[in-house]
Amino acid sequence: MSLLNNTEHIRNTRVGSISLNPIGNLSLDGSIFNISAILIGSFLIAILAQINIPVPFSPVPITGQTAGVLLVGALLGSRVGTLSICAYMLEGALGLPVFTGFKGGLIVFAGPTAGYLWGFIPAAFIMGRAAESGFTSRLTLSLLFCTAASLLILCLGTLYFLIFQINISDAIKIGFYPFLFGDIVKSAVVAMILAGIERKL
């Protein structure tokens, strides 16, 4: 289950007149908890995005962004996790240096790598649903969903290159193959982290 759905003691706690209800959506009750989780999640992704391994012959480096997206989606759940990704992208669009290489601004969304960013949203949702269904508690299933979410990001990012008059063969060469191994490794690391957290809770 996701971290938010796994904290029953928090769910039933009241602070003043505000009920903390981390169900995974923003409502009047629990808004403070959820907004805090959204901002913390976006901050975590911004930090991990600065892990940057350049790849020859490709404009897209291997970064910790993907790992951050998978973690945030699974830990916060499908609703709050997805909103956290949206907050991260909004922060970047507003010019905050949260993207890889401390970049920010609308110019990032106008470039050929924007497809990967858009892929973060469905990937986080998938991870959130997987966690809520208990799939991330088992290492093999956790690895399966992490890999699937990572591949979704890669596929959307690769297809986005086509908008810039890059043929599909070249798009795969520069936007998919160079990152496949790295994303599988990151998926394995995230899967182990999630399975470990589930065992502790």
Domain boundaries, the chain: 4-200
The confidence score (pLDDT) of residue 52 equals: 82
Closest among 118, 105, 103, 194 to 154, alpha carbons compared: 118
Closest among 115, 45, 100 to 76, alpha carbons compared: 45
The confidence score (pLDDT) of residue 199 equals: 78
Spatial separation of the C-alpha atoms in residues 88 and 137, rounded to whole Å: 26
The confidence score (pLDDT) of residue 12 equals: 41
Mean pLDDT by 10 residues, the chain (201 residues): 52 36 39 89 96 74 90 95 97 96 94 95 97 91 97 96 92 91 92 88 70
The confidence score (pLDDT) of residue 54 equals: 78
Which region holds residue 123: left if phi is over 0, alpha if psi is between -120 and 50, else beta?
alpha
H-assigned helices in the chain: 8-11, 31-48, 65-76, 78-93, 114-132, 139-160, 168-175, 177-200
The confidence score (pLDDT) of residue 84 equals: 96
Question: Rounded to 5 degrees, what angle do the CA atoms 49, 53, 59 make?
Answer: 90
The confidence score (pLDDT) of residue 25 equals: 38
The fold adopted by the segment(s) 4-200 is Arp2/3 complex 21 kDa subunit ARPC3 (1.10.1760)
